[in-house]
Amino acid sequence: MRPTIKDVARDSGVSVATVSRIVNGLPGYSPETRKKVMKVIEDLGYKPNAVARNLVSRKTSTIGVLLPQLSSHFAAKLLQGIEDEAHNRRYSVVVCNTDSNGKRTQDYLELLREKQVEGILFASELLTDEYAETLQGFGIPAAVIATTSHVPSIPFIKVDDEAASYSAVQFLIENGHQRIGMISGTKHDPISGIPRIKGLKKAFSENGIPFEEELIEYGDFGFRSGYEAMERLYRSNPELTAVFAASDEMALGILSFCYEKGMKVPDDLSVIGYDDTDIATMSIPPLTTVHQPIQEMGTDAVRMLMKMIDGNQPESRFMAYRITKRNSVKNLT
Amino acid sequence: MRPTIKDVARDSGVSVATVSRIVNGLPGYSPETRKKVMKVIEDLGYKPNAVARNLVSRKTSTIGVLLPQLSSHFAAKLLQGIEDEAHNRRYSVVVCNTDSNGKRTQDYLELLREKQVEGILFASELLTDEYAETLQGFGIPAAVIATTSHVPSIPFIKVDDEAASYSAVQFLIENGHQRIGMISGTKHDPISGIPRIKGLKKAFSENGIPFEEELIEYGDFGFRSGYEAMERLYRSNPELTAVFAASDEMALGILSFCYEKGMKVPDDLSVIGYDDTDIATMSIPPLTTVHQPIQEMGTDAVRMLMKMIDGNQPESRFMAYRITKRNSVKNLT
DNA sequence: CTGAAAGCGCTAACAG
DNA sequence: CTGTTAGCGCTTTCAG
């Protein structure tokens, strides 16, 4: 049995109240009793029980994070940012892998509530009305990352996908490309799918480039799907000089496809990705891509959550993006 | 104020004991009272407070995981395995990023103890005597992953680095290579550094290949360091036909170096990596590498921990490794 | 400066 | 079948 505050009190001949004060650095005891008590604490190896503490203080100093997957590079980077900032604020983070599963997500939400977490972060996935509702019912501060929310009490933090996508295509056009294709993510994804397509269309129309549906193929953001989508895209549009991929992984899929077909990147085909995860620096050639400050979104989201825990209502935020130029886009001009 | 068990008891005209029984599915009430109580629970939106529960049951159903970094692909994959299995067992996991910092690690250890986690997993980093000692002092079940432990009460789960390394080099030799170099990780790393070098030496000596110190360059397991180490290695050993890298990331660094120098992989140089993380499939050419069942190590570690929580003392375990053949090694024979 | 006592929300005997 | 009563380990008035 681990020693409790009672044991310390008994052994040092004081009341538990005094021990509590000493442990918590509150005033109200003489230097001598403090010394005496500290010694007993030391001897016994006493450590306060956070569970008991949390019960009376009604605070747990922990937040929960829901992610559709833990093994993606995006999730990893985000988690790094979240954990870092949480640790700075002396908060713990419990991770939940929703697997993009509604039931599982709801279960986790319940669980987090029962565990009395002080805040919930929900990332990279559509915040359904259902989720938003249960979250609001909880009355626990919550924010979403890399996804939107139309509920004002649940702010979001993300980059403006349409604008970023527009910039990427614009960048291609500025480099002299006119025959541009796209490998989008999941077809009707309202977060990372549709807006990015919209950005491309906007860039096309502003530059007088006609848009056709067959210029777009769909993947699932993963490497393999990028490779396969490129296969289809190339078959229907062999004359393309550049393609924009909605994720770095899919962009690498394109690179692999080109390699196998003997097409040189960027000489025969230019490729631009999206995310700027570590793999963008490790590819051959290094990938030009839309940079999202993933880790920073994590730390900022935690800051947001902390504001809410402190009783304020922060605004949703768009993070800055930029094009990180490496060597996968050729200048045709 | 969220409703408590008392509110439910009052509103349904029964005692808290009865409500508790109903909530926990214990026997001891008529179907009618159950129905009545359930209705009140529903109306009030009552959910049990896990903190209070944990206090009396002295169980928290949560484990803590310490990782030197969260954003690496290795960590991400491991976490995925850990969270999955923990969730199966209805356990929560709190993540801690030690940043390979001794102070920070000790702080986390204290924190986890205070939060009364039921088990601790420590990954990818040397378990110092100091850590082992505080862990043992806690009396909380603990296991280490991808690293060793000489403390019997803290079992490890890892692949046999020396044997795996030996296999990798043996594979190269079987493919006709004799002039083989290595890019190792951190120089005196007792876990992933020294044993892997030992494996290489063993393969060399068994095949009558003379070993020289200059055949090895050191990196830090990261991409950039792999590139730079290869630069040095190539300068001093331009006649190499194959290089063994102690991590996939460093292997990709080698690939990039070769690309820039106009050397074809595997035609001009064969490369074999270590880990078999996702990037090994995404490189050009796809990387032949030593497969470590990372995610599985995570799930198995949780199983181990659960056994310990149940009062048993599991044995340390070596996981199976294998060579995953892709296209970065040329057969010279 | 210090202690007694009343909880925090819940579980678990123990009576009835 | 159901209620009463002690706590779990700690914080926090309120007295003194």
On the question of pLDDT at B89 being above 80, the answer is yes
Give residue B79's pLDDT. 97
What one-letter code names the amino acid at B143? A
Q: How far apart are CA A302 and CA A84, in angstroms?
A: 9
On the question of pLDDT at A1 being above 80, the answer is no
Confirm or reject contact between A69 and chain B (CB < 8 A): yes
Q: How far apart are CA B104 and CA B306, in angstroms?
A: 26
Closest nucleotide over all strands to A9 (CA to C1'): C3
Question: What average pLDDT does range A284-300 have in this prediction?
Answer: 97
Give residue B2's pLDDT. 87
Confirm or reject contact between A134 and chain B (CB < 8 A): no
CATH superfamily ID and name for A5-57: lambda repressor-like DNA-binding domains (1.10.260.40)
For residue A161, what pLDDT band results from cuts at 50, 70 and 90?
very high
For B29-53, how does the pLDDT look when each residue is reduced to its tens digit (9 = 90+)? 888 899 989 999 999 999 999 999 9
Nearest residue to nucleotide C13, by CA–C1' distance, is B17
Distances (CA, A) of A47 to A4, A271, B62, B292: 8, 56, 18, 39
For residue A219, what pLDDT band results from cuts at 50, 70 and 90?
very high
For residue A157, what pLDDT band results from cuts at 50, 70 and 90?
very high
Question: What average pLDDT does range B133-147 have in this prediction?
Answer: 95
For B170-181, how does the pLDDT look when each residue is reduced to its tens digit (9 = 90+)? 999 999 999 999
Helix (H) / strand (E) element for A275: namely strand A270-275
Q: Which residues of B touch A91 (CB under 8 A)?
A: none
Question: Min CA distance, B156 vs chain A (Å)?
Answer: 22
For A176-208, how does the pLDDT look when each residue is reduced to its tens digit (9 = 90+)? 999 999 999 998 888 899 999 999 999 999 999
Question: What average pLDDT does range B225-238 have in this prediction?
Answer: 97
Query: Strands A288-291 and A322-324: what pairing?
Result: antiparallel
B103, two tokens: 């102070």
Question: Min CA distance, B117 vs chain A (Å)?
Answer: 10
Give residue B187's pLDDT. 87
Q: Which residues of B touch A52 (CB under 8 A)?
A: 55
Q: Look up the CATH architecture of domain A161-292.
A: 3-Layer(aba) Sandwich (3.40)
* Cβ–Cβ gap B75/A75 under 8 Å: no
Mean pLDDT of chain A: 95
CATH class of A62-159+294-319: alpha beta
Burial zone of B213 (CB within 10 Å; 0-12 exposed, 13-18 middle, 19+ buried): exposed
Give residue B217's pLDDT. 97
> Which of B108, B137, B119 lies closest to B63 in space, CA to CA?
B119
Phi, psi of B96, rounded to the nearest 5 degrees: -135, 125
Q: Which residue has the tokens 């199983």?
A: B303
On the question of pLDDT at B159 being above 80, the answer is yes
Give residue B28's pLDDT. 80
A135, two tokens: 């979250």
Q: Do domains A5-57 and A62-159+294-319 have the same CATH topology?
A: no
Instruction: Tell which strand C nucleotides have any atom below 7 Å from a protein Cβ.
Output: 1-5, 7-13
Give residue limits of the domains in chain A. 5-57, 62-159+294-319, 161-292
Question: Residue A322 pairs with which residues in a beta bridge?
Answer: A291
For residue A238, what pLDDT band results from cuts at 50, 70 and 90?
very high
Burial zone of B99 (CB within 10 Å; 0-12 exposed, 13-18 middle, 19+ buried): middle
CA of B60 to C1' of D7 (A): 18
* Cβ–Cβ gap B72/A75 under 8 Å: no
Of all residues in chain A, the percent with pLDDT exceeding 90 is: 94
Question: What average pLDDT does range B286-314 have in this prediction?
Answer: 97
Confirm or reject contact between A44 and chain B (CB < 8 A): no
For residue B321, what pLDDT band results from cuts at 50, 70 and 90?
very high
For residue B245, what pLDDT band results from cuts at 50, 70 and 90?
very high
Of all residues in chain A, the percent with pLDDT exceeding 70 is: 100
Q: How far apart are CA A179 and CA A170, in angstroms?
A: 12
On the question of pLDDT at B27 being above 90, the answer is no
